[in-house]
Structure 1
Amino acid sequence: MRSLTILTLAIGLAATSPVLAADQENKETPLTYPETKTVDVIDEQFGEYISDPYRWLENDVREDPEVADWVKAQNAVTDAYLETLPGRESLAQSMKELFDYDDLGIPVEAGGKYFYERKSGGQNQAVLYVRDGVDGEERVLIDPATWSDDGATALAGWKPSGDGSLLAYAVQDGGSDWRTLKVLDVESGEVKADTVEWAKFTDIVWMPKNIGFLYSRYPEPNEGEAFQSTNLNHAIYLHPVGNDQAKDIKVFATPDQPELNHFAELTSDKEWVMIASASGTDERVEVTMIKVDAPELETRKLVSGFDYDWRLIDGVGDTLYFTTNKDAPRLRVVKIDLGADEPEFTEVIAESDAVINGTMIVGDRLVVSYLVDAKSQLSTFDLDGKALGTLNLPGPGQVTSLSGSMKSEEGFFSFQSFNRPTTVFRYEPSSEPTVWAAPSLPFDPDTVEVTQRFYESKDGTKIPMFLVHMKGQDLSAGAPTMLYGYGGFNISVLPQYKPAWMAWIKAGGVFASANLRGGGEYGKEWHDAGRLQNKQNVFDDFIAAGEYLLTTGIASQNGLAIEGRSNGGLLIGAVMNQRPDLFTAGHAAVGVMDMLRFDRFTAGRYWVDDYGYPDKEQDFRTQLAYSPYHNIKGGIDYPALIVSTADTDDRVVPGHSFKYIARLQALDTGDKPHLIRIETRAGHGSGKPTDKVIEEYSDIYAFLAHATGLELDK
């Protein structure tokens, strides 16, 4: 389970005089939910009898008319309730204005041409541009707006050939993880006949002389199973340009280990291909190398065993640089000479207290992005590891998308924060970074304040949390507050700009983001402390964040809303069960809600690194203890809750959310609304058009605002 950027609206401090949610709640009329049928399904596992009366809701909504009817009935109740909420239209208008900015991508140079994405003025999808030379005149290369009437078909990856004459790109339809790969002639704009289907979890790697590109794919699924069947037998193929896909050459596969995924990378001098193979999400990989000029692309195992993470930085000739967590939980930089008789890794940059979050080589400089208390720091070194200093950044925030080459004297990276949309910087070793592209802002980002605090979790662990609000707002006065969390898969939740969050802040609310264990903010130990048998730590960390916000008076009483997506949706479901008294309202998006069956669908089997195996007793008992679907308690008043999912989510299949909300509605869980919002022609999140994002979040945040007393019509 692995940003939006610019604000163009001046923001003034909105006065906050919230109506207490308790006053609103007394006026709520209990909803009548659709009647959901139950089935007699009971599984026996390790002596436990597990009832699953809503198993039928796991069926694909596109294939099962009964599930489709249930979806329509649920959306009808949800839509009718949302129509009654005050301020929804004004919130949508605010978000529309806040989305009116240039969302910028990092440029990629090839053959003297620079390729980059930009989404402007609320466009539904990003447009790909090209310019001749770093300062040349830009022209549109691909505009996905022409691909579908509803804007739900997206450009989902691209790579120019080495000379910049051709471009391979991926098409994503309706939010699915499946990709269709095409080839475009850069000069003429002609889309060639090449069509590659069933690519998924793939990079695009052009081979020298434009002979073709490498990509990763699964076998074609059986009819009707594309959005639910388990993903097995990932393989890397070479697609020769101009050929039919049936003639593509299988370069690497592991039929004896069908659970493995494989990803290809290429050094900038195009001498070595690295293939990283992994069975899960825990970034423990085997490394296989292919010498590009070797006959028949013969493979050579470099790292055996799934014990550590290895990430290729770049290489020249036979000397390659990697980051790894071998003997370094917070990562270090090593190099290896593949031309030696007995190649060995040698250390270049030792592990430090900070966590390495990204690296690039620009000419003869190593540029390393570190995380220091969940904030980025850029440091430079020579290729022997001698420290040369740090680079200036605009403030506390997140550095992303480092892109450089040992064959070039320029590199690029982007920077953003909660109050600063993405700015793209150009870096040359001889000087400080300079702005390559930045949106014009008619407001001062300094009018929005970002601070960081540390609070204690249940076991005494110090947890960092960012607070974002309008400058001058009295945090001791109490305001409706939205608490966001994730806590899993070694993913660091860093400062990022999102217009929907800013709309909440603009209305006078406080936004809080907690850096829970299970993420990667402090390296492998931090991740390990929030997974498998330690997963309860994630929920404890989040609960402690809520308690801190309330006891310090930052969040108003009856004014604490919580939000999480995917693994974060699981987080919301779990803490709602464990502490329904603490929170006023919640949003659980595309969540993993059934911890005993998550591994049976699409990519779910990869998540066992974080969640464990439901068919192993120790893991099963841990999962059963917090599984959101199985731990809903009748006879207890639950907070107001809105669950969101989508019919084409083939990452976390919507059956998770369907079953969870069905049980929540069926049991005696109080009079507050417990609703589900089910989007059509959308998936796990990527590729969703801007107009659908605005519609979705104006609905959801109006729901949370109504529950917490945040006044939207001001």
Structure 2
Amino acid sequence: MNYPETKKVEHTDEYFGTKVADPYRWLEDDRAEDTKDWVQREVAFTQNYLNQIPFREEIRAQLKNIWNYEKISAPFKEGDYTYFYKNDGLQAQSVLYRTDKNGNTEVFLDPNKFSEKGTTSMSGLSFNKKGTLAAYNISEGGSDWQKIVIINAITKQKIDETITDVKFSGASWLGDEGFFYSSYGKVQGSELSVKTDMHKVYFHKLGTKQSEDKHIIGDENFKRRYMNIGVSDDERFLILSAATATNGNELYVKDLKNNTDWIAIQKGYDYNTDVLDTKGDFIYIMTDKNAPNMKLQKFDIKNPSVWTDVIPETENVLSASTGGGYIFAKYMKDAVSYMKQFDYNGKLIREITLPGIGTASNIGGKETAKELYYSFSNYITPGTTYKFNVETGTSEIYQKPNVKFNPEDYVSEQVFFTSKDGTKVPMMISYKKGLKLNGKNPTILYGYGGFNISVTPNFSVVNAIWMENGGIYAVPNLRGGGEYGKKWHVAGTQMQKKNVFEDFIAAGEYLQKNGYTSPEFMALSGRSNGGLLVGATMTMRPDLAKVAFPGVGVLDMLRYNKFTAGAGWSFDYGTAEDSKEMFEYLKSYSPVHNVRKGVCYPSTMIITSDHDDRVVPAHSFKFGAELQEKQSCNNPALIRIEVNAGHGAGRSTDQVIGENTDLMSFALYEMGIKELKK
């Protein structure tokens, strides 16, 4: 493999007396000409390699064909209109429609008109209580930096100047006056990589300039990395959530009716507590305080330190939503959903019968609604929307997608395997019926394992095509996720992070030992924190799989906290500055620092985007440079760089199809497959 030349520089950092070389430090400067030149050469090299795959265009055609079906969201009511999203099939972005009381339907917002190639997306939308005003976020090229556009919801006309420099924030309306939003302000340096650590909350009054917006909170005296103000549904309370990391938050409430100052409900970052709803003087909160699997409690604003149970903690993880005057409790048992309906006093109304074993979205809607909506899906059932009657508890199909896929032809089974330290871990394995367990089936092992995020069964047309071509799709529920509550999450953080990699390795070994696949036919896949998972696993166990896809990954564990919002991930990872012990632990698995000469690594396609300001592309660039320099066998080390895209959200349909075409065709090609099964 004659890779593009990558220069090396003399650069070392010192941590607790240990010098660490960083020869590709220059690739961190996304604005430098030599970085741009290197990116262009890598893009060309990767495309040249992928162009030689004989069935690449066949896979693209298969994906386009299955993708081309009408996708309609659950409806939601705002003011006198009912809104819903629809994508005709291959549109770059879904269009927002609305229907009036007379049944007339029209386009409300079409994000496909925001940019020429469909790479500007609508990433948030909020209405005032009357439904007469709306504010929507737009993201250009997938960036976390966004703008808020303000319109008259009746006429659809823009009515104010666009709010800029918004990040990790929507708009929370207070009457017809204006809304709260959060911003890090104008940054000095590259928007794609500069560190953001002081969130500020502002109130924008309609008809005024952004420069006149009232600064509510957030400065050197109250410095928090993430802050948002929400307005309660009855518009009586302002609710402020403040945090320094992605886990644990402070909670403050301001009573507008009684004109109080901020009342501290929870200080410090030991727990996660969020407001679900308010009823008169009572505020309902979801919390993991003394409840690792979450519980619903309430308190009286006149006595905010006394919290009482509404829905107590159980052995299964709880999430909750509201609608139709009820509370809906969704539980997760072994990563699968079940649901119950309660009144506001915590009295059980009924257990809700779901359509099958899989993932249900939360049931939710306005308090006055008699009918609410939820969706249901699993790895072999396309996402179907159901209409739920709050009084009878019955569900009926509202919208079933017409996908060219027959679930009857496929199997999705759950197994449990044992990790290195004896922990039992669940995994879903999906494939076409009639598959022979002869160790020769192309298999994608996909994982995440972090940030309390649960990977639950969901349908994907990409996986449908993979299975249609004889592939197996396997997803283990690794530690670090939220599938079994806080304890499961913490067991995959900081000095226990390697548990996640060991779980992933054990999942791969289970599949190989039981005849599903073998190392020559297995691909490792994951994105973001899952990209770290793949990078760490392939450097720890290069013999485990033939192919590796570290996607938009956190790959330099010594410097991840220096960029954008990276410092906020320290609860999960720890940082190299914390202690000598933490530094040594991070260095022992950091993918960039563990590529060794003389080792044969899997055929690798590193995936990143030029506008990723969540996990900066430098992670992928440096890891790719290390692999290309040190790979000892003929397995390629490619870097696939998407242009005009960010961390993943908001990409156009064409971009998503393009990436998955390359992933699937590269995996099969590297596994020695010459042509697709007919």
The TM-score, its normalising length taken from structure 1, stands at: 0.92
- Comparing 103-112 with 71-80, greater Cα deviation is found at 103-112
**Residue from 630, 638, 657 that aligns with 2:593:** 630
1:500–1:440 Cα change, 3 Å = closer
- Cα deviation for residue 226 of structure 1 reads 1.2
Could you say what secondary structure the match of 2:398 adopts?
A: strand
Q: Counterpart of 2:249 in structure 1: which amino acid?
A: V
Q: Counterpart of 1:45 in structure 2: which amino acid?
A: Y
2:150 is aligned to 183
- Cα deviation for residue 466 of structure 1 reads 0.6
1:645 and 1:403 map into 2 onto residues whose CA distance is 35
1:477–1:700 Cα change, 3 Å = closer
1:251 is aligned to 216
How does 1:90-489 map onto structure 2 within 5 Å?
Answer: 90-132=58-100, 136-208=103-175, 210-222=176-188, 224-282=189-247, 284-293=248-257, 295=259, 298-338=261-301, 340-341=302-303, 343-356=305-318, 358-431=319-392, 432-476=394-438, 478-489=440-451
Q: Is the 8 A contact 1:592 1:652 kept in 2?
A: yes
- Cα deviation for residue 253 of structure 1 reads 1.9
CA offsets per residue over residues 546-581 of structure 1, 9 Å max, x none? 101111010145101110000000111101111111
- Cα deviation for residue 589 of structure 1 reads 0.6
CA offsets per residue over residues 651-710 of structure 1, 9 Å max, x none? 000000000010111114321101001111111001110101111111121111111245
Could you say what secondary structure the match of 1:36 adopts?
A: coil
1:68 is aligned to 36
Q: Is the 8 A contact 1:375 1:398 kept in 2?
A: yes
Aligned residues: 675
- Cα deviation for residue 246 of structure 1 reads 1.1
1:250 and 1:291 map into 2 onto residues whose CA distance is 19
2:194 and 2:361 map into 1 onto residues whose CA distance is 33
Q: Is the 8 A contact 1:269 1:407 kept in 2?
A: no
1:112–1:360 Cα change, 3 Å = farther
Q: Is the 8 A contact 1:268 1:406 kept in 2?
A: no
List gaps (5 residues or longer) in structure 1. Answer: 1-30
- Cα deviation for residue 474 of structure 1 reads 3.2
1:423–1:101 Cα change, 3 Å = same
Q: Percent identity?
A: 37
1:213–1:490 Cα change, 3 Å = same
**Residue from 496, 500, 508 that aligns with 1:534:** 496
Could you say what secondary structure the match of 1:181 adopts?
A: strand
Q: Is the 8 A contact 1:360 1:405 kept in 2?
A: no
1:259 and 1:613 map into 2 onto residues whose CA distance is 18
List gaps (5 residues or longer) in structure 2. Answer: none
1:5 is aligned to none
**Residue from 564, 580, 600 that aligns with 2:562:** 600
Q: Is the 8 A contact 2:291 2:313 kept in 1?
A: yes
* Residue 550, structure 1, aligned to residue 512, structure 2: yes
Q: Is the 8 A contact 1:504 1:701 kept in 2?
A: yes
- Cα deviation for residue 401 of structure 1 reads 4.7
1:476 and 1:270 map into 2 onto residues whose CA distance is 62
CA offsets per residue over residues 584-627 of structure 1, 9 Å max, x none? 11111100110000000001010101000210222211111100
Could you say what secondary structure the match of 1:67 adopts?
A: helix
CA offsets per residue over residues 15-44 of structure 1, 9 Å max, x none? xxxxxxxxxxxxxxxx10011000000111
- Cα deviation for residue 427 of structure 1 reads 2.7
1:237 and 1:411 map into 2 onto residues whose CA distance is 33
1:85 is aligned to 53
Q: Is the 8 A contact 2:66 2:403 kept in 1?
A: no
Could you say what secondary structure the match of 2:306 adopts?
A: coil
1:658 is aligned to 621
- Cα deviation for residue 387 of structure 1 reads 2.5
1:587 and 1:540 map into 2 onto residues whose CA distance is 18
- Cα deviation for residue 712 of structure 1 reads 2.6
1:103–1:620 Cα change, 3 Å = farther
Could you say what secondary structure the match of 1:525 adopts?
A: helix
Q: Counterpart of 1:502 in structure 2: which amino acid?
A: A
2:524 and 2:606 map into 1 onto residues whose CA distance is 12
1:418 and 1:270 map into 2 onto residues whose CA distance is 40
1:529 and 1:320 map into 2 onto residues whose CA distance is 32
Q: Counterpart of 1:33 in structure 2: which amino acid?
A: Y
Q: Is the 8 A contact 2:323 2:363 kept in 1?
A: no
- Comparing 410-419 with 519-528, greater Cα deviation is found at 410-419
1:91–1:442 Cα change, 3 Å = closer
1:341–1:514 Cα change, 3 Å = closer
- Comparing 513-522 with 440-449, greater Cα deviation is found at 440-449
Higher relative contact order (CA 8 A, sep 6+): 1
Q: Is the 8 A contact 1:86 1:713 kept in 2?
A: no
Q: Is the 8 A contact 1:290 1:300 kept in 2?
A: yes
2:305 and 2:324 map into 1 onto residues whose CA distance is 24
**Residue from 559, 562, 574 that aligns with 2:521:** 559
Q: Counterpart of 2:472 in structure 1: which amino acid?
A: V
* Residue 648, structure 1, aligned to residue 611, structure 2: yes
1:443–1:39 Cα change, 3 Å = closer
- Cα deviation for residue 87 of structure 1 reads 0.9
2:232 and 2:398 map into 1 onto residues whose CA distance is 25
1:20 is aligned to none
1:495 is aligned to 457
Q: Counterpart of 2:540 in structure 1: which amino acid?
A: Q
Q: Is the 8 A contact 1:316 1:406 kept in 2?
A: no
For the aligned residues, what is the CA RMSD? 1.8
- Comparing 488-497 with 263-272, greater Cα deviation is found at 263-272
- Cα deviation for residue 476 of structure 1 reads 5.0
How does 1:665-676 map onto structure 2 within 5 Å?
Answer: 665-676=628-639
1:403–1:183 Cα change, 3 Å = same
2:10 is aligned to 40
Could you say what secondary structure the match of 2:162 adopts?
A: strand
2:37 and 2:493 map into 1 onto residues whose CA distance is 37
- Cα deviation for residue 68 of structure 1 reads 0.6
- Cα deviation for residue 263 of structure 1 reads 1.9
Q: Is the 8 A contact 1:203 1:264 kept in 2?
A: no
2:370 and 2:284 map into 1 onto residues whose CA distance is 17
